[in-house]
Amino acid sequence: MSNETFYLTTPIYYVNATPHLGHAYTTILVDTMTRFQRRRLEPEHVYFLTGTDEHGDKIVQAAAQAGESPQAYTDRISGIFQETWKRLGLTPNQFIRTTSEPHKRAVQRFLQQIYDAGDIYFGEYGGQYCFGCERFYTEKELQDGRCPDHQTTPTFIKEQNYFFRMGKYQDWLIDHIHCHPDFIRPERFRNEVLSFLKDPLEDLCISRPRTRLEWGIPLPFDDQYVTYVWFDALINYISALGWPDGEAFRRFWPNAQHLIAKDILKPHAIYWPIMLKAAGLLPYRHLNVHGYWKIEEAKMSKSRGSVVRPLDLADKYGVEAFRYFVLREMTFGLDASFSEEALVARLNADLANDLGNLYSRVLKLIQRYYDGRISELPGEGGLVDPTRVAIAEVTAATERFAFSEALAAIWNLVSATNKYLVTNEPWKQDPGDVRTKAVLFSAAETLRAIAVLLWPFLPQTAERMFRGLGISEPITSIRIEEAFSSPQHLGPRQWRVGEVEPLFPRIEAATAKPVPVKTEPTAAQESVADLIAIEEFRRIDLRVAEVIEAAAIPGSKKLVKLRVRLQDEERTVVAGLKEHYPPESWEGKRIILVANLKPTKLMGIASQGMVLAAEDESGRIVLLTPEAPIASGAKVR
Ligand code: MSP
């Protein structure tokens, strides 16, 4: 077994705000990636770190506003972050707080080390300071004299402070980025950093006088100063591992990766590697950078009131539907727009329809045909290739954080399985037939593979699928490459399908409220064999048609001959509706026509389509017509 380790961190979030979609997104990505790595490596060789950033002006101000002491305030908000991650089912190995004693000790040790090495000096600096960002801005960085982030006018401050000789390491950093092309990824952020490094790097002011700010970690070599919040915060990535002597640091640091959004690229891509270099430590392996969630094209902002709360969405639609949406919707490295409608559409189409229906359909057939038992039996080879392809694609895409692509690859397998069933129609076959069994077992085996692949992304759903299939083996004991372990596509050992519960309830799009899951099966659900897949439905070309004229057919009591228009095309259709709709009632009506029915001859007249009508139990028949005016030829979906 390999000794390879994997260490991935989220940024530590400021406690001046409670968790929103952006924080949840980064943390979900790290949760997904570390779950995936735990199925690839030894689970204890994988480490997921998150936490809260609790020092600095911002926090003092937020605490004052809340009427609390900084400590009481940070305890409370940090607690909300921890509780939120728990409720979202996220599983960090550690939640670090920068106000914890071990972290403070590590920061002081780090500072002392580079101070002793001569990389920190005392000097005077005057400049434009933004309290929101807690940093000085150069004139060039300001936009119309304002902070580009907060749009506020900075304050000119002149004071004596400690400075870190960043400039000294600029050439080393440029070299390192050139020699390690995937040090910062995706590439556009690497290019951004390289272009920033074209100008000389200024030294970094790493202290704040205590007279101005008390809420920070005192400098070990001058207790009249506290540490600049970024210098304090970045060190969390090693203090959490017990640097300098911790066993975890020795094991995990050589394989460290960070995940951040583009807003904090500079401290992570420039300050942090240089800090590590100055302290004689290895740089991290990769900095992975994702884009920003926007709401209707605007940046999410508390002041505008446009903040999406992850728990509200999880409560409304379910944790996993929310998780699926954010993982599927954002292309890694690019910005994405959040909308609740898009979430509902994905939930209905991908989760309730494609995956949910496949799962229920296969399980219900196995239950009906074989009393739920799946015993050892050779399968049928039709799904072997699509499964292999999915495993390879999911693995490759996940490794490079392309989670949207990975999910698309899983859904290709879901579609292939749906198609396979439509082609083989086990519901029309004899249950005792060996081939029928083989087809259903193949589908069940593929559902098992789908669940294994899905687990890092939607762990609860995958576990429910395992339970539904009656697989007793814990899903977490199966490695990704074993998702499909039986080369001959051998049927699984002894599974017993339990009660089939829908995986996801459909949501009514108009109201965006969950439709209660029916406990009583409807007639259609009862007879699983009568259900069709969406692909089957899509083969039927239903169109709106306009009746131009209608005539009786001599010698026929029931038939009426219609001339109809579909956009630019005219057709003749014979309908058996004369007793309910006499010829004179048809002209000008808009009807629904099955437009791709094979032409047939009725009373010697070729009929090119079929008119749809509904019939109730008393035999009353009414024509189906569009609810509002719509062009002839319009497609019915
Ligand atoms: N405390 C610093 C980070 C220190 S790390 C050593 C900080 N905190 S933060 O609370 O502002 O978090 C910023 C991070 O939150 C982003 O990098 C990203 O991970 C996440 N997001 C916050 N808003 C976001 C969006 N609108 N969209 C996507 N993610 C964003 O910066």
**Can you tell me the mean pLDDT for 477-504?**
76
In the predicted model, is pLDDT for residue 522 greater than 60? no
Which residue in the list 147, 290, 364, 578 is annotated as catalytic? Answer: 147
Distance (Å) of CA 541 to CA 43, 571, 598: 51, 15, 12
- Average per-residue pLDDT for the chain: 89
Residue to substitute in 12, 23, 287 for testing ligand 1 pocket (most ligand atoms within 8 angstroms of CB): 23
Largest Cα separation within the chain, whole Å, is 109
Q: Separation of 23 CA from ligand 1 center, angstroms?
A: 6
Which residue in the list 23, 268, 286, 578 is annotated as catalytic? Answer: 23
In the predicted model, is pLDDT for residue 593 greater than 70? yes
Handedness of CA 395, 290, 265, 112 (dihedral sign): negative
Identify residue 585 by its one-letter amino acid code. S
Neighbouring-strand partners of residue 205: 163
What pLDDT is attached to residue 376?
Answer: 62
Q: Is 349 exposed, middle or buried (0-12, 13-18, 19+ CB in 10 A)?
A: middle
Which residue in the list 262, 294, 299, 589 is annotated as catalytic? Answer: 299
Q: Whose CA is nearest to atom 6 of ligand 1?
A: 234
Q: CA torsion 145→151→153→154, rounded to 10°?
A: -90
CB crowding 469-497: b at 16 or more within 10 Å, else e: bbbeeebbebebeebbeeeebebbeebbb
**Can you tell me the mean pLDDT for 304-315?**
81
CB-defined site of ligand 1, < 6 Å:
11-14, 22-23, 25-26, 53, 233-234, 236, 260-261, 263-264, 292-293, 300
**Can you tell me the mean pLDDT for 234-257?**
98
Which residue in the list 130, 268, 277, 364 is annotated as catalytic? Answer: 130
Residue 301 confidence class, pLDDT cut points 50, 70, 90? low
Q: Separation of 150 CA from ligand 1 center, angstroms?
A: 15
Structure tokens at 420: 């396979």
Structure tokens at 518: 């029916």
Range ranked top by mean pLDDT from 387-391, 472-476, 555-559, 606-610 = 387-391
What pLDDT is attached to residue 518?
Answer: 28
Q: What percent of the chain has pLDDT over 90?
A: 68
Which residue in the list 86, 150, 178, 180 is annotated as catalytic? Answer: 150
Over the stretch 538-570, which tens digit does the pLDDT of each residue have?
778 899 999 999 998 887 888 889 999 988 888
Q: What is the CA radius of gyration of the chain?
A: 32
Nearest ligand 1 atom, CA 13: 10
Q: Separation of 22 CA from ligand 1 center, angstroms?
A: 7
What pLDDT is attached to residue 141?
Answer: 86
Is 147 catalytic? The answer is yes
Q: What percent of the chain has pLDDT over 70?
A: 91
What pLDDT is attached to residue 216?
Answer: 97
Nearest ligand 1 atom, CA 11: 5
No. of H helices and E strands in the chain?
21, 30
Within 10 Å of residue 118's Cβ, how many Cβ atoms? 10
Which residue in the list 45, 55, 104, 133 is annotated as catalytic? Answer: 133
Percent of the chain as helix, strand, coil, to the nearest 5: 45, 20, 35
In the predicted model, is pLDDT for residue 296 greater than 60? yes
Q: Whose CA is nearest to atom 21 of ligand 1?
A: 22
Is 180 catalytic? The answer is no
Closest CA relative to residue 332, chosen from 397, 408, 391, 256: 397
What pLDDT is attached to residue 514?
Answer: 42
Over the stretch 109-145, which tens digit does the pLDDT of each residue have?
999 999 999 999 999 988 898 887 878 888 888 999 9
The residue whose two tokens read 């050139």 is 178
Over the stretch 336-375, which tens digit does the pLDDT of each residue have?
999 999 999 999 999 999 999 999 999 999 999 999 988 7
Is 205 catalytic? The answer is no
Over the stretch 182-226, which tens digit does the pLDDT of each residue have?
999 999 999 999 999 999 999 999 999 999 899 999 999 999 999
Nearest ligand 1 atom, CA 291: 28
Q: Separation of 201 CA from ligand 1 center, angstroms?
A: 24
Distance (Å) of CA 259 to CA 29, 97, 363, 478: 8, 18, 39, 26
What pLDDT is attached to residue 492?
Answer: 55
Q: Separation of 15 CA from ligand 1 center, angstroms?
A: 11
Residue to substitute in 58, 85, 263 for testing ligand 1 pocket (most ligand atoms within 8 angstroms of CB): 263
Nearest ligand 1 atom, CA 264: 17
Contact (CB, 8 A) for 267 and 297: no
Q: Whose CA is nearest to atom 2 of ligand 1?
A: 13
Residue 21 confidence class, pLDDT cut points 50, 70, 90? very high
Is 20 catalytic? The answer is yes
Q: Separation of 347 CA from ligand 1 center, angstroms?
A: 27
Range ranked top by mean pLDDT from 47-51, 308-312, 545-549 = 47-51
Is 23 catalytic? The answer is yes
Is 299 catalytic? The answer is yes
Contact (CB, 8 A) for 347 and 324: yes
Show the beta-strand stretches assigned E in 320-452: 336-338, 373-374
In the predicted model, is pLDDT for residue 385 greater than 70? yes
Q: Separation of 45 CA from ligand 1 center, angstroms?
A: 26
Nearest ligand 1 atom, CA 263: 17
Over the stretch 57-86, which tens digit does the pLDDT of each residue have?
889 999 999 999 999 999 999 999 999 999
For residue 360, give the DSSP letter: H
Handedness of CA 147, 278, 97, 67 (dihedral sign): negative
**Can you tell me the mean pLDDT for 152-158?**
91
